[in-house]
Structure 1
């Protein structure tokens, strides 16, 4: 019985590690590539600074503002799972 439990535990561990190794995939046709920033800023708590981040559309779907294909940048916390925690009114849209 102990050998069976050990084998099942080992198999479960191996499968969970395999599942973690598979990268998340976006909806088909959507992909982006980091293209740079306007400035690299160092600020202290409580200070504010403006900068821009640029992403290029590396997918096959056009990003069009005001349509179902509009793409918005999501801001995530350090835990990498809590996203869209920012105030949307603070993020301006540049359709440029």
Structure 2
């Protein structure tokens, strides 16, 4: 089975994907932007009897990225250092799990 990181797992498609993939036996690291979503996701996984690792991660927050990935991505080449209008896909494309 695969190791899968899902961002935006606090609600909607990301949440469903995280729970479904964990149910299928994959090792899922599911991140949500705010702590209440992390707690809700952990509770739902427990209620469904599936194991997943739920973590707080706002990918636009430098401290969260450093904590999650162990390094600072703010060197100027990161997509997240750009204003929202300049980020890839922000004009007419949607990002799954974001």
Q: Settle same-fold status: TM greater than 0.5.
A: no
- TM-score (ref. length: structure 1): 0.21
The structure number with the bigger radius of gyration is 1
Higher RCO, 1 vs 2 (CA within 8 Å, ≥6 residues apart)? 2
Higher helix share: 2
